[in-house]
Amino acid sequence: MKNREIAELFERIADALEVKGETGFKVVAYRKGARILQDMAEDVEAVAREGRLGSVPGIGEGLAKKIREYLETGKMAKFAEAMKGLPESLLGLLEIQGLGGKTVHLMHEKLGVKDIDGLKRAIADGSLAGLPGMGDKKVDNLRRALEARERTAERVSICEAAVIADEVIAYLRKAPGVGRVSAAGSLRRMKETVGDIDILACGKDGSKIIRHFTRHPGAVRVLAEGGTKGSVVIRTGDAERQVDLRVVAEREYGAALLYFTGSKAHNIKLRGLAKERGLKISEYGVFKGDKRLASREEEDCYRVLGMPWIPPEMREDRGEIELALENRLPRLLEAADIKGDLHVHTRASDGDLSLGEVAGLARKMGYSYIAICDHSRSVTYARGLEVERLAAEIEEIEAFNRTLRGFRVLKGSEVDILADGSLDFPDKLLGRLDFVVAAIHSGFKKNVTERMLKALANPHVRTIAHPTGRLISRRGGYEVDLDRVIDGAARHGKALELNAYFDRLDLDELNLKKAKSKGVRISIGTDTHFADGLAMMRFGVGIARRAWLEKGDVLNTLGADELVGRTAIRKERGKRARRP
């Protein structure tokens, strides 16, 4: 329906008029018209077609004329007139809690404020407090609102965003009349970090669903509450995060989900493709003229454009549309393909869980194996295992496995790569392990490429842990030539790790693609140290899908016997290659 589009235009006109200094009935009329359109159960196009606009309470002849103009031409002259000569940055100030059009007009006219930076200066130099109707208290409130806006504008980790979204979605599903609900935006595309948390829902009464949303118990501030859109700030610990909800009709849900998932580049490419075919695609559906061809399901919208559904993680305009048109999309890795976690710690080093506890959690996740990879002796700050302690752990795991059916604990180690490229344990001990993860935890100031290459040549090493060493929130990682490391892994038939811990996600999607192109397999490990850590696998799978990895590209999709068997074969080949 066009109801929402026209309502938003009316709201923008009212904002623009106020910012320009207009007051009185005109502003009120546009805002009232917007509310009426948002709350209308009928399609305004149908009402106009049947000549009933004049009978809608609150819609006078002036508004009715503008509605008909937009329906007939797709444009509204009054909107263009209202926006003329008005800097977009001024309207952006209206998004700050406590600022209305009248105040923005006054700040612009008297102080020359035209954007957020100007507002900050006016607050700092005291000039804002001198405006009529302001005062110190209002200025202090604006300062707080600005600080909150900047906090919520920060990008947050995929983990934090997913936790908030999952909780909000569960809460929304309890709302009367709500239908389908989904995360959208960069969260649905599984980007490493997320800006605002976008959620889409469908239902017959958008106002009631939005009202339920804005009453979320974690909401500390309501930024917007309308008939189809709502926005709140939710506090999590010391942080405040913005969550936006859009409510659409059931029949538009698929098109809206496609539109609000993005990315912008993907959507632009789809619009161009639709235009070439004489179609139009928007958040309301795919149209040929006035006829709606698809909108209820994403699959329908893609099908009308001549291609299969494209997974959200691929929607970045990196060639996925061209592949879809040729029906050559890869079958991406699925969570169900993962048979085990290949990097887990216990309390033998720096984890919180016992061997039995971590194995129990893995079985609950449906895994058939898990690799215990406690730290080696050089990592003293993490209680790294000495030779005797690793030997004892190997025996403990072997005894534990004898009590199990349908599940296996792999004997492993996150063994340090020392400064000269040698490993922290002797080969004889490493030979007793099922899965060796080689890692760098020191010497970051020097280039570590040669150390990694030497480790890859060791026949006992199966994969390199977190190959760049980055932590997304606080450090860029060590100096390393990833192209050479990827080539080295390919040459020796070794894997590289995708560390699924949310603050690592290392390798990133671009380097994962490089590895795939060289035939290098990827091991996904959560680097679990605590009970909730195994759940990080969802983020590893998400990044793998963004890199277009398929089942065959990932070690974890192998069964335990096949995985260990291949490791043994590589060890033997490596030993033969090193013999004089």
The CATH number of 270-325 is 3.30.210.10
* Rounded-to-integer distance, Cα 507 and Cα 468, Å: 7
- Positions of CATH 3.30.210.10 in the chain: 270-325
* Rounded-to-integer distance, Cα 98 and Cα 90, Å: 14
Total H helices, total E strands in the chain? 24, 17
Average the pLDDT over 212-224 and give the result.
92
Average the pLDDT over 174-190 and give the result.
95
What is the per-residue pLDDT across 505-546, written as a single tens digit (0 to 9) for each? 999 999 999 999 999 999 999 999 998 899 999 999 999 999
- Positions of CATH 3.30.460.10 in the chain: 156-248
CB 375 within 8 A of CB 414: yes
Per-residue confidence at 450, pLDDT binned at 50, 70, 90?
A: very high
- Positions of CATH 1.10.150.110 in the chain: 3-153
**493 Rama class: left (phi>0) / alpha (psi -120 to 50) / beta:** left
Of 23, 52, 24, 28, nearest in space to 40 by CA = 52
What is the per-residue pLDDT across 26-78, written as a single tens digit (0 to 9) for each? 888 888 888 888 767 678 888 899 998 888 888 889 999 999 999 999 889 99
Token match 């200025």: residue? 139
CB 505 within 8 A of CB 480: no
- Positions of CATH 3.20.20.140 in the chain: 335-578
CB 456 within 8 A of CB 424: no
What is the per-residue pLDDT across 346-397, written as a single tens digit (0 to 9) for each? 999 989 899 999 999 999 999 999 999 999 999 988 889 999 999 999 999 9
Element spanning 236, H or E: strand 229-236
What is the per-residue pLDDT across 69-107, written as a single tens digit (0 to 9) for each? 999 998 899 998 988 888 778 877 877 767 777 888 888
CATH 3.30.460.10 for the 156-248 domain, yes or no: yes
pTM (two decimals): 0.76
CB 128 within 8 A of CB 104: no
Q: Which homologous superfamily does the CATH classification assign to the domain defined by 3-153?
A: DNA polymerase beta, N-terminal domain-like (1.10.150.110)
Determine the pLDDT at residue 57: 84
Q: Which homologous superfamily does the CATH classification assign to the domain defined by 335-578?
A: Metal-dependent hydrolases (3.20.20.140)
Token match 């979605």: residue? 169
Sign of CA dihedral 448, 451, 454, 460: negative
Burial 84-104 (b: 16+ CB within 10 A, else e): eebeeebbebbebeebebebb
What is the per-residue pLDDT across 288-298, written as a single tens digit (0 to 9) for each? 998 999 999 99
